[in-house]
Amino acid sequence: MANTTIYDVAGAAKVSLATVSRVMNNPEKVNPETREKVLRVIKELGYRPNAIARGLASRKTTTIGIIMADVSRSATAQLLGGIQDIAKKYEYSIKIFSFGADEDITEAMRTVLAEQVDGILFLNDELDKEQMKIAMDYIKESMVPVVLSNVFYDDEDIPSVAINYEAATYEITKRMLQYGRKNIYLFSTARKYSINTQKEAGYIDAMNEAGLEPKIFRTSGDVSVNALHFEEFFKNTKIDGAIAVRDSIAISFMNVAQDYGVKIPEEISVVGLQNTKYAILSRPNLTCVDTPVYDIGAVSMRLLTKFMKQEEVGNNKVLLPYRFIRRKSTTSL
């Protein structure tokens, strides 16, 4: 039966409900014999405490809220994978909330907090600075622990885990310059994401340092639109290196370039900044900066558990390592 309550267990085990509660929450505080007896009854009846009642009484729901822009985005799904695995290990339930930059942020935060989550993982990277401030201030005031997961926001009080996309992009740009490319473009998105802003900053730095003009070409997230953009792009652009914030953009570009008879990597070196599984399905295979998104999810969830358990945390800003994977779309690395 689904409706077995703590009273049923107490009755069958001939103890008070307080004792049943104790064997579930503080087993060491109850006599081993009665503990065994209660445990047996619990198993027999298939009893599981009502999580809602427990949440109300204890003021802890063992549930975390995940705030995101869109579940179906590949990066979000990867993050969720990592979060899920760690959450399961620590026995936290997961509630997901999504909202866009066009919605009332305060209202959205209220909704999340009304659900009494014990902690928040914030994955939405489509908000501007002001919106982020509203969201973060609201969460801070609520005292609910939060960790930014793959999102950048400049506030030392707020823990975050991400990758140093700026350094990664700086470095890959620099390497490309070192093996002789001059006209290097960065392909970014028309829409603003805090991550892509980091990537752009790294690219700009490297170019400036080399005394070259940074050239950012913005395209859509939609692969079919990208192709058209690139057709246009080719007509009057000199380019020998391309770095794309998304693998799909890089692949789209390579396809169009090859249609125009351009040799890749000989004439243009191309790099993707994600290393999705499609990087090895493209022709040529795509050289990438590998950014372990699953790990970001896992580590941020782990960090959040520490805050929820009030454990000591050394550094509340975690940057995970990235690496470069040389494939066929570049002449060197």
Partner DNA sequence: CTGAAAGCGCTTACAG
Interface with a copy of itself (CB under 8 A): 1-2, 46, 48-53, 55-56, 61, 63, 70-74, 76-78, 80-81, 84, 88, 93-98, 110-111, 113-116, 141-144, 223-224, 227, 248, 251-252, 255, 258, 277-278, 280-283, 294
Q: Which stretch binds DNA (CB under 7 A): 15-23, 76-84, 243-251, 269-277?
A: 15-23
Q: Which is closer to DNA, CB of 43 or CB of 59?
A: 59
| 24, 80, 121, 245: which one binds DNA (CB under 7 A) | 24
State the DSSP code for 230.
H
Q: Is the dihedral of CA 227, 232, 236, 237 positive or negative?
A: negative
What count of residues does the chain have? 333
Give the residue carrying structure tokens 């949440």: 55
Q: Decide: 37 and 45 in contact? Cβ < 8 Å.
A: no
220 contact choice in a copy of itself, DNA, none (CB below 5 to 8 Å, kind-dependent): none
5 contact choice in a copy of itself, DNA, none (CB below 5 to 8 Å, kind-dependent): DNA
Structure tokens at 60: 């802890």
Give the residue carrying structure tokens 């470095």: 171
Sort 270 into a burial class: Cβ within 10 Å, 0-12 / 13-18 / 19+.
buried
Structure tokens at 19: 């004792």
Q: Which is closer to DNA, CB of 52 or CB of 281?
A: 52
Q: Which is closer to DNA, CB of 58 or CB of 178?
A: 58
Structure tokens at 270: 């191309």
Structure tokens at 24: 């579930």
The partner residues of 187 in beta bridges, in order of sequence, read 217, 244
Q: Which is closer to a copy of itself, CB of 116 or CB of 197?
A: 116
| 1, 2, 3, 314: which one binds DNA (CB under 7 A) | 3
- Residues forming contacts to DNA in the complex (CB under 7 A) are 3-7, 15-22, 24-25, 29-31, 33-35, 49-50, 53-54, 56-60
